[in-house]
Structure 1
Amino acid sequence: MKTNYDVAIIGGGIIGCSIAYYLAKEKIDVAVFEEKQIASKSTRAAAGMLGAHSECDDFEIFYPFARSSQLTYFDLKDELRELSGVDIELRKGGIFQLAFSEQEKEELSATLSLPTVSWYDSVEMRNRENAVSSNIFGAAYIEDDVHVLPHSTCLAFSKCAQIYGASIFEYTPVFAIQKEDSIYIIKTNKGAFQAKTVVVANGVWSSSFFHQLGLHHTLSPVKGECISVSSVQPLLKHTLFHEHCYIVPRNNGRLVIGATMVKNDWHEQPTLGGLESLIAKAKTMLPTVTDLKIESCWAGLRPQTFDKKPFIGYHPEDEGILFATGHFRNGILLAPATGQMIRDLIVKQEVKKEWIDAFKVNRF
């Protein structure tokens, strides 16, 4: 079994697999180490919203980065499908970010100022989505805030990376990273591997590697619970979004309702209380949702940093170690831009200074 690589990536979620894809495409010899199966943890639990506008509260730095990643998906979907045969199910139609009062509309003023966003009053909104609540004041319509199927997207990245020469090691937890001269020893349950560069990209579980590598950073879990429901007739053509909760229509006719925000909870199972709160919130947006049939429910752990923005960049004292973690609510959205940024750092291509500064590990 081969044990020497240029780059070792710890974490086989969508961030790790995106990085592997972009590196392997550059003919860099890369290996991904995943404790379970590819896309089995937070990636599988995500709804897949590409909310560059609706999830943004920083239009100076975060929005340009998120927007660049969002736009990449529109070309990437065809590239990934042609190479891997996997459809990431990018669904067009966009999102309605609801407002229930004049004040909530005013709170959307920064979003509404963007040329890609339009305002619909309550009558116009209900003409587009007649099942929506009659209590709404209106909605910001964001056509480009579409969504993908996260599990399929991660698998597409993984398969394409392998086609380009990457190695994927599933059921291979990494226990330790040690440096010997200029080489890193990655210790796993399948023995030791060597790499010139290591990328830590395993979400909320990255904290142990921060500590191993002499840093005091800690990522906090924020559990998100979701429900999938079905109906005989399609109820929505667009995603509904309000106060970080959403109802997302899938291509198969189902609706995904999510997601709770339970801080510092490491249990990856949904609770009755969490599901009850989701149903109550969904009812305020789509009253008939309570008549639908529950298909399944699940939970995942979002990795939250101290300022809710990801760590993307070098270890402050060792350029052989990079981090790509802490993407909080936006791992699916930011996967392409993160993969490209890590690739560019490794191959010494130019990266925007404002992005390096905004996401650097030692920014505090």
Structure 2
Amino acid sequence: MSTIIVIGGGIIGLLTARELAQAGADVTLIEMGTTGRESSWAGGGILSTLRPWRYAEPVTALVQWSQRRYPELCGELFERTGIDPEHSRDGLLIVDVPDPAPALSWGREHEMAMETLDGSAIRAAAPKLVHESECALWLPDIAHVRNPRLIKALRRANNRAVRIREHQEVVELLVSDDRVAGVRTHTGVHHAETVVVCAGAWTANLLEQLGRPPAIAPVRGEMLLFHADPGLLSRIVLAGEHYAIPRRDGRILFGSTLEQSGFAKTTTAEAKELLHEQATTLFPMLRRMPIGGHWAGLRPSSPSGIPYIGAHPGIAGLYVNAGHFRYGLTMAPASAHLITDLILGREPILPPAPYGLDAPR
């Protein structure tokens, strides 16, 4: 039985550890803080890229494989743990699409349901929305999950199959004769035959000691949560760069910002004011709703948004699964399955070349 260490306890690390353990590997997951409390917790949980026709094919391939897997995964986790990730196929309404032809062509090519709506149909789809749009796109099959619950369910499901070590920061990757030998944390050394780095925005810092780190950098995103009544919003709405996501209990998430701030994860009054202004302009009824939360997370950006999934080119036994930018949750099932295929020598679910650490992006 192979001994594997997974570094990072976000959605990518948790699902990677789960896939490896289910395949029979002896897995330890090491997380510098609390599992699932970074970008996996901070995001909105939309299981799609926001304008899918604009993304590179390697991103689309991961997203579509994951979209097919998510209903079954959420059902498995609910049955096993009693925690409902709230997979909800509410659909995505994109209200500012002046030229829908490229999107519709992309939708036909990728077999994604997509249709145009005019002014009256837009108002019928989102009665509380105030927006001057003559043409919108409706994607009825797009779903979202309640990401904190998904993370909690995964953490509980992994309890028996994976050793989870929280609040242990990996400070060094141990290498001997160009082969990984384990990791060093503040509390000691952990030996392993294989190490998988799933450290999100912190991945490049960890790999820098070995040279040629991937081009992954943190991008801060801030979100607002409104306490609203159930039914006020029944679908995901995207307008410009901002989106609103309904939860089953009536809460509405509104996001997000894109801020180059290094590893500073603090929220700002400016971002809160901007998000509130945008939210209440699009949905005036939110002016009467109390703000239930304001938080920030650090997304692991990468060139063209294409994550790094594969073996380190110079160190045997060292793998990377990181750099998913805004869509770690969206691409997680496929990414975890693909890296497990590569580690165990199985037939990969997708051609792995575009995700290699040296692949052009």
The equivalent residue for 2:279 is 282
The equivalent residue for 2:78 is 81
| 1:360 partner amino acid | G
The equivalent residue for 1:93 is 90
TM-score normalised by L of structure 1: 0.91
The equivalent residue for 1:44 is 41
Deviates more, 1:26-35 or 1:5-14: 5-14
Deviations 1:166-203 (A, max 9, x none): 11001111111112355513111221111110000011
The equivalent residue for 1:342 is 339
The equivalent residue for 1:10 is 7
1:188 paired to 2:185: yes
Separation in 2 of the partners of 1:234 and 1:268?
A: 32
| 2:150 partner amino acid | T
Deviations 1:229-276 (A, max 9, x none): 012463100010123421000112110000001124422122111122
The equivalent residue for 2:16 is 19
Provide the identity percentage: 27
The equivalent residue for 2:174 is 178
The equivalent residue for 1:306 is 303
| SS across alignment from 1:267 | coil
The equivalent residue for 2:234 is 237
Deviations 1:124-168 (A, max 9, x none): 1211221111512232111222111112212222322333x2110
| SS across alignment from 1:329 | helix
Separation in 2 of the partners of 1:267 and 1:56?
A: 32
Separation in 2 of the partners of 1:200 and 1:171?
A: 16
1:220 paired to 2:217: yes
| SS across alignment from 1:240 | strand
Separation in 1 of the partners of 2:40 and 2:27?
A: 21
The equivalent residue for 2:355 is 359
User: Are the equivalent residues in 1 in contact too, given 2:3–2:25 (CA < 8 A)?
Assistant: yes
Shift of 1:353: 6.2
Gap change, CA 1:341 and 1:244, over 3 Å in 2: farther
Shift of 1:302: 0.5
Unaligned runs of 5+ in 2: none
User: Are the equivalent residues in 1 in contact too, given 2:81–2:157 (CA < 8 A)?
Assistant: yes
Separation in 1 of the partners of 2:302 and 2:270?
A: 26
Separation in 1 of the partners of 2:25 and 2:172?
A: 23
User: Are the equivalent residues in 2 in contact too, given 1:53–1:145 (CA < 8 A)?
Assistant: no
Deviates more, 1:174-183 or 1:62-71: 174-183
Shift of 1:281: 2.6
Shift of 1:208: 1.6
| 1:292 partner amino acid | M
The equivalent residue for 1:71 is 68
The equivalent residue for 2:121 is 124
| 1:291 partner amino acid | R
| 1:325 partner amino acid | A
Considering only aligned residues, what root-mean-square deviation do their CA atoms show, in Å?
2.1
TM-score normalised by L of structure 2: 0.92
| SS across alignment from 2:303 | coil
| 2:190 partner amino acid | F
User: Are the equivalent residues in 2 in contact too, given 1:220–1:304 (CA < 8 A)?
Assistant: yes
| SS across alignment from 2:196 | strand
Separation in 2 of the partners of 1:124 and 1:183?
A: 58
Separation in 1 of the partners of 2:57 and 2:208?
A: 31
Q: Which of 59, 62, 65 is residue 59 of structure 2 equivalent to?
A: 62
| 2:272 partner amino acid | L
User: Are the equivalent residues in 1 in contact too, given 2:33–2:166 (CA < 8 A)?
Assistant: yes
Separation in 2 of the partners of 1:197 and 1:95?
A: 40
Gap change, CA 1:288 and 1:331, over 3 Å in 2: same
Give the total of aligned pairs: 357
Separation in 1 of the partners of 2:346 and 2:166?
A: 30
